[in-house]
Amino acid sequence: MSELFEPKIVAFVCTYCTYAGADLAGTSRLKYAPNVRIVRLPCTGRISPMFILKALQKGADGVLVSGCHPGDCHFTHGNYHARRRWMVFRALLDFTGISPERVKFSWISAAEGSKFADLINSVTEDIRNLGPFDQYQQLIKETESPATL
Amino acid sequence: MAKIGVFICHCGENIAAKVDCTKLAAAMGEHPGVAVSVEYKYFCSDPGQESVKKAIREHNLTGIVIAACSPRMHEATFRKACAEAGLNPYLCEIANIREQCSWVHTDSEMATEKAMDITRSMVEKVKRNNNLQPIEVPVTRRALVIGGGIAGLQAALDIANAGQEVVLVEREPSLGGHMAQLSETFPTLDCSQCIMTPRMVETAQHPKIRLLTYAEVESVDGYIGNFKVRIRMKSRYVDMSRCTGCGDCITKCPAKKISSEFDCGLGKRTAIYTPFAQSVPNMPVIDKASCIYFKNGKCKMCEKSCQLNAINFEMQDEFIDLEIGAIVVATGFQIQNTAVYGEYGYGKFPDVITGLQFERLASASGPTAGRILRPSDGKEPENVVFIQCAGSRDPSKGVRYCSKICCMYTAKHAMLYAHKVHGGKTHIFYMDIRAAGKGYDEFTRRAIEEDEASYVRGRVSKVWQENGKLMVRGVDTLLGKPVTVVADMVVLATAMVPQHNAKEFAKTIGIAYDEYGFYNEAHLKLRPVESSTAGVFLAGACQSPKDIPDSVAQASATASKVLALFSKEKLEREPVIAINNEATCAGCWGCVLACPYNAIEKKDIRDRSGRLIKQVAYVNPGLCQGCGTCVSFCRSNSLDLAGFTEKQIFAEVMGL
Amino acid sequence: MITQERYRTTVKELLANGSIKMAIGYKPGSTPDRRRPLFIRTSEEAEQLVLDSTCVQNLSGYLVSEGLLSDEKRVGIFLRPEGVRSINILAAEYQLNADQIVIFGFDSTGREVRPLDGRSAREFSGLLNELKEKPLQIYKEPLLERIEKMNAKERFDFWQEEFSRCIKCYACRQACPMCYCRRCIVDSNQPQWVNTSSHTLGNFEWNIVRAFHLSGRCVQCGNCDRACPVNIPLRLINQRMANEVLDGFDHFAGLSATQEPVLASFKKDDTETFIL
């Protein structure tokens, strides 16, 4: 039996809701998969599509983006702007061959520690089932040798 | 060259039991740019903090990473320690390896691996951190209080009594608001005028309060500590510097049949008038729409009667520009438009009145000198029906909330009526009696037990007239039967709703409001008197329906907020704000649209001869709250967010 | 031919009476089916004006050349409907004042060229609204449909194949009227968001970023596609994104000069079915 694939997942979260939700999962001692690395930002509005590309370049097999529920944004509507951007960027990635299965978006409030834990588990499981992002890894590997042009 | 210190906290066993801290410390010690990497049982303890400070000094560290609990726990602690050791506090980053690692993972090896990734990425981030200084914003120590009702008066007096300047703006000709209209007040039944008017006089005479009545806020610009406010002084046609308030003009005015707003249409006033006898200031205004001279070009009786030449028909609106540090919004409420109660016959039957009209009837200074008389024939009613929740808690009337004060004032009305009309009968249709408050339940019990108010639990479906009587058809849900009560007068406990222009006014001052138009607090529980805009506070019923004690308490709370703001010459704010690279900005203004705080302005870039070269975005540091929404919009990457710069995030991700 | 002659006369008249200081149009290019931009300042220069079905380039990008419009004098320009949309976007993004632009509108069916009514962008709003309702047929490309039918892996392979040819010459950027930034994000190296080596990874990143920056702003004029020396079908990505903002936010880029940029605005009830 082959060893279980452990995907690498990068999460971009806002500090007011999802980061606090992740802290709550911790203080509640909930257990979840150790595959996700969190990058904390003030607001989902700060999360630029470039971050997602860089996470992929760093070898992530999946990316998670999460913030406050609509109406709950500490900055009143940063998350509404983010939502539009995500929708467009997600479609763009999908069209160019990066499956929406690999880049996920969620709303998690500061009170949703268990939702956070469940989500990390389910996202990890989904990406594990998809397997390593070999195609992207191949692109990364190419950059180690000189460019052809 | 970066010299980073990495401090790995065991947190007793909380971290060390899962994360191999020794391995982590060793690995970080090998990482480029790390000068010192140590572990310790409790870095948040005094000796722990001391060791961090010592390391900063000894190794001349250029940044530190504390791998420990969440930054939400101890970021402030370690930033302070940095500052004490002479390192800029913003050169400290926290790697969260407790809440988001040791506590949530079971596999020790994987937890250690994750802790390494987390710590390494924070090391990479902190290498790119910049020295930041808290933003200092000067504070103009002058408060603007908008609204001269009880909430506005209380806020103004509290601020002024603490020695700070206040400008109080009231759009009506007199202070007083709704409270001045009331007869007695629950639960003590003390006369509203008796407790209100001394406050009004005190306000008007206070050396620290500048009173602007018959005035409205025209525009508000700027930000906390530095608002620029323009006030429109509506033309009174009476020169306040000359008028002594003798009232000769009012006596002489031939237009006497104008419905009095203050008396809710139950009394009459003249065209030149003061709203009520105890008005403050006690100087009249001319109601242009009703004035015979303004309509026909002839009359000027008031001018002729005035021995002080205070009447000036040529007066124009004037504008006053003010520099203001903080704003208290106390604009109050209005009662719901009674046209929506068709089934209760308001407007059709003169003896169906609102609770506020009942207040005027019961008021000693009201149109009936305090006698409860029917508007239709001036007779004393023998049976009065009160209908509670007229509009409130009724989605079909557009008001889903409870207006909060009606249960209490209806009980009070029943009492006042019983005291004034001996032998009179009252029926009160109610949904629930909501009497939470000091002495409130006792008060409603008194109405029932001592003053024989008859409470009927149920709604009224219809009111109609028969043989000169009002027939009230409702249901008694406790008996499960329909009932019809014959009444001489029906009083509606009409819903409290926001002022008619509440939403537009919110836009003028830049605060948020809810679906009804009540102003939103920054946090319902923890910041109930602050608006969503820094430096703008909320008092009284403009935020939600409130009674007098609550309004006063909230007003005093806003005063304490204002005074705290004024306690310093300068405000200090977290330096996490956006900054723009003017050289690369293309001036597309997407950021201006995206900014939730209107913090981005257009700035002209001119050459030496003053010719406009281009316009670029400028982030106002006083207004920017640091969300970064503009940064990720900016296509040319010109905007950046201090504390979470593009370089920092890039390094953080690439460090994972 | 008649359209060309009529417009030639109009341009001469407007130049002569000072209504415009310059007109931007087309002149013959290096091959019979190619056209080059023509900057007409005199009656003689107007003689070179060509207007036929091969005039396909969207010239609106020339309007934002540094200083051209800063004297507030009016400039005429030959534009197809897509070009008019570009003018609206540039105005909505404060890069130009639409009142300063005199439009010589035209369109073609087959080899037939016909003039379009209107001189200012505002006067084209009826036409643009019609376009929104029935998007251009030529973009119902079989290739686009083919890509849509692929699975993620096939699509990734398809685009990597295409992007592997990219030489990062940035001709797509230079040709695009919307790429007016003083500094492109790809030229920002603090940090270097986009890998600038011509490995496919960097090529992919560049093309993704370009498409994202054009989302809700691209009018499908095809300038980038024609400019690409290695024939990457850039129009397909742009078209896909235009469909996305139209379906998702009812946004048709360049409908008016006061249209809010789709990614700098939002609605509280924007769709969010994809959010967990």
Note the pLDDT tens digit of each residue in C204-238: 999 999 999 999 999 999 999 999 999 999 999 99
Query: Which chain C residues are within 8 Å of B646, Cβ to Cβ?
Result: 190-191, 193
Given A84, A96, A105, which is nearest C276 (Cβ)?
A105
Answer whether B650 sits within 8 Å of C191, measured CB to CB. Answer: yes
Counting as contact any 3 or more CB pairs under 8 A, the partners of B are A, C
Mean pLDDT of the region C57-64:
94
Answer whether B590 sits within 8 Å of C182, measured CB to CB. Answer: no
Of C72 and B338, more confident: C72
Positive or negative: CA dihedral B647, A75, B220, B575: negative
Answer whether B585 sits within 8 Å of C95, measured CB to CB. Answer: no
Query: Which chain C residues are within 8 Å of A139, Cβ to Cβ?
Result: 160, 199-201, 204
Confidence of residue A149 (pLDDT cuts 50, 70, 90): low
Name the percent of chain A lying above pLDDT 70: 97
Q: Please report, in angstroms and rounded to a whole number, the separation of the first and last CA atoms in chain A.
A: 43
How would you classify the pairing of strands B469-476 and B460-466?
antiparallel
Kindly report the nearest CA distance between residue B136 and chain C, in angstroms: 28
SS3 call for A47 = coil
State the residue range of the domain holding A32.
9-142
Nearest 5°: phi and psi at A123?
-65, -45
Residue C140 has pLDDT above 80, yes or no: no
Answer whether C200 sits within 8 Å of A104, measured CB to CB. Answer: no
Taking all residues of chain C, what is their mean pLDDT, rounded to a whole number?
A: 91
Confidence of residue B44 (pLDDT cuts 50, 70, 90): very high
For residues B167 and B144, give the distance between their C-alpha atoms in angstroms, rounded to a whole number.
5
Confidence of residue B515 (pLDDT cuts 50, 70, 90): confident
Kindly list the distances between the CA atom of residue B515 and the CA atoms of B121, B225, B399, C154, in Å, as whole numbers in the listed order: 44, 29, 10, 49
Answer whether A53 sits within 8 Å of C208, measured CB to CB. Answer: yes
Identify the residue among A4, A13, A19, A40 best suited for mutation to test binding to B, counting B beta carbons within 10 A and taking the highest. A40
The model's pLDDT over B419-444, given as tens digits with 9 standing for 90+, comes to 999 999 999 999 999 999 999 999 99
For residues B101 and B109, give the distance between their C-alpha atoms in angstroms, rounded to a whole number.
12
Answer whether C94 sits within 8 Å of B646, measured CB to CB. Answer: no
Mean pLDDT of the region B261-269:
94
Taking all residues of chain B, what is their mean pLDDT, rounded to a whole number?
A: 93
Residue of chain C with shortest Cα separation from B581: C183
Kindly report the nearest CA distance between residue B552 and chain A, in angstroms: 28
Residue B57 has pLDDT above 70, yes or no: yes
Q: Give the residues across from B13 on adjacent strands.
A: none
Residues 6+ apart with CB under 8 A from B58: none
Residue of chain B with shortest Cα separation from A74: B627
For residues B31 and B8, give the distance between their C-alpha atoms in angstroms, rounded to a whole number.
14
Residue C137 has pLDDT above 80, yes or no: no
Residue B511 has pLDDT above 90, yes or no: no
For residues B289 and B216, give the distance between their C-alpha atoms in angstroms, rounded to a whole number.
19
**Which two three-digit tokens encode residue B215?**
């005035």
Residue B97 has pLDDT above 90, yes or no: yes
For residues B579 and B641, give the distance between their C-alpha atoms in angstroms, rounded to a whole number.
6
**Which two three-digit tokens encode residue C270?**
């924007």
Asked whether residue A49 is domain-assigned, the answer is yes
Residue C273 has pLDDT above 90, yes or no: no
Element (H, E) at C35: strand C35-40
Asked whether residue A3 is domain-assigned, the answer is no
Q: What angle do CA B391, B393, B399 make, to 5 degrees?
A: 60
**Which two three-digit tokens encode residue C136?**
């251009």
Residues 6+ apart with CB under 8 A from B363: B181, B182, B183, B192, B193, B370
Answer whether C204 sits within 8 Å of A148, measured CB to CB. Answer: no
How would you classify the pairing of strands C35-40 and C22-28?
antiparallel
Q: What is the predicted pLDDT for the residue at C139?
A: 54
Decide if C39 contacts C24 (C-beta within 8 A): yes
Greatest CA separation found in chain A? Answer: 54
Kindly report the nearest CA distance between residue C27 and chain A, in angstroms: 35
For residues B368 and B489, give the distance between their C-alpha atoms in angstroms, rounded to a whole number.
15
Name the percent of chain B lying above pLDDT 70: 100
**Which two three-digit tokens encode residue C63?**
């309007």
Mean pLDDT of the region C30-57:
92
Touching A: C residues 120-179, CB under 8 Å: 147, 152-160, 167
Which has the closest alpha carbon to C160: C225, C204, C211, C199? C204
Query: Which chain A residues are within 8 Å of C208, Cβ to Cβ?
Result: 49, 53, 92-93, 96
For residues B269 and B253, give the distance between their C-alpha atoms in angstroms, rounded to a whole number.
10
Structural domains in chain B, CATH included, are 4-127 (3.40.50), 140-234+319-332+501-570 (3.50.50.60), 236-316 (no CATH), 335-497 (3.50.50.60), 578-643 (3.30.70.20)
Positive or negative: CA dihedral B555, B561, B563, B565: negative
For residues C101 and A27, give the distance between their C-alpha atoms in angstroms, rounded to a whole number.
62
Question: What DSSP character marks residue B349?
Answer: B
Answer whether C185 sits within 8 Å of B636, measured CB to CB. Answer: yes
Residue C138 has pLDDT above 80, yes or no: no
Q: What is the count of residue pairs from A and C with beta carbons less than 8 Å apart?
A: 128
Domain count for chain A, please give it. Answer: 1
Is residue B437 left, alpha or beta, with left meaning phi > 0 and alpha meaning psi from -120 to 50? Answer: left
The model's pLDDT over B393-428, given as tens digits with 9 standing for 90+, comes to 999 888 999 999 999 999 999 999 999 999 999 999
Decide if C54 contacts C35 (C-beta within 8 A): yes
Counting as contact any 3 or more CB pairs under 8 A, the partners of C are A, B
ipTM: 0.94
Q: What is the predicted pLDDT for the residue at B499?
A: 96
Rg (CA), chain A: 16
Answer whether C181 sits within 8 Å of B633, measured CB to CB. Answer: no
Q: What is the predicted pLDDT for the residue at C136?
A: 59
Confidence of residue B1 (pLDDT cuts 50, 70, 90): confident
Decide if C158 contacts C236 (C-beta within 8 A): no
Least trusted range by pLDDT, from B323-337, B435-449, B475-489, B524-538 = B524-538
How would you classify the pairing of strands B521-523 and B352-354?
unpaired
Q: What is the predicted pLDDT for the residue at A1?
A: 45
Query: Which chain C residues are within 8 Å of B638, Cβ to Cβ?
Result: 183
Answer whether C270 sits within 8 Å of A87, measured CB to CB. Answer: yes
Kindly report the nearest CA distance between residue C116 and chain A, in angstroms: 33
Q: What is the predicted pLDDT for the residue at A70?
A: 86
Counting as contact any 3 or more CB pairs under 8 A, the partners of A are B, C
Answer whether B629 sits within 8 Å of A32, measured CB to CB. Answer: no
Residues 6+ apart with CB under 8 A from B545: B333, B401, B402, B403, B404, B405, B496
Residue of chain B with shortest Cα separation from A14: B627
Mean pLDDT of the region C149-153:
91
The model's pLDDT over C84-93, given as tens digits with 9 standing for 90+, comes to 999 999 999 9
Kindly list the distances between the CA atom of residue B211 and the CA atoms of A91, B168, B174, B219, B310, in Å, as whole numbers in the listed order: 59, 5, 10, 18, 19
For residues C262 and C239, give the distance between their C-alpha atoms in angstroms, rounded to a whole number.
16
For residues A109 and A24, give the distance between their C-alpha atoms in angstroms, rounded to a whole number.
10
Touching C: A residues 2-41, CB under 8 Å: none
For residues B354 and B345, give the distance between their C-alpha atoms in angstroms, rounded to a whole number.
11
Place of tokens 């990406």: A127
Residue B318 has pLDDT above 90, yes or no: yes
Q: What is the predicted pLDDT for the residue at B532?
A: 74
Answer whether B111 sits within 8 Å of A38, measured CB to CB. Answer: no
Which has the closest alpha carbon to B144: B331, B284, B334? B331
Kindly report the nearest CA distance between residue B40 and chain A, in angstroms: 21
For residues B303 and B311, give the distance between their C-alpha atoms in angstroms, rounded to a whole number.
5
Identify the residue among A9, A84, A99 best suited for mutation to test binding to C, counting C beta carbons within 10 A and taking the highest. A84
Whether residue C107 lies within 8 A of chain A, CB to CB, comes out as no
Q: What is the predicted pLDDT for the residue at B185?
A: 95
Residue of chain A with shortest Cα separation from B15: A26
Given C185, C188, C261, which is nearest B590 (Cβ)?
C261
Residue A36 has pLDDT above 50, yes or no: yes
The model's pLDDT over B161-172, given as tens digits with 9 standing for 90+, comes to 999 999 999 999
Query: Which chain A residues are within 8 Å of C232, Cβ to Cβ?
Result: none
Q: Give the residues across from B570 on adjacent strands.
A: B138
- A27-60 burial, b if ≥16 CB within 10 A, otherwise e? eeebebbbbbbbbbbbbbbbbbbbbbbbbbbbeb
Place of tokens 């705080």: B597
Decide if B253 contacts B270 (C-beta within 8 A): yes
Answer whether B589 sits within 8 Å of C180, measured CB to CB. Answer: no
> Half-sphere exposure of B344 toward its Cβ, with a 13 Å CA cutoff?
27
Residue B615 has pLDDT above 50, yes or no: yes
Question: What DSSP character marks residue C206?
Answer: H
Kindly report the nearest CA distance between residue A146 and chain B, in angstroms: 21
Answer whether B633 sits within 8 Å of C263, measured CB to CB. Answer: yes
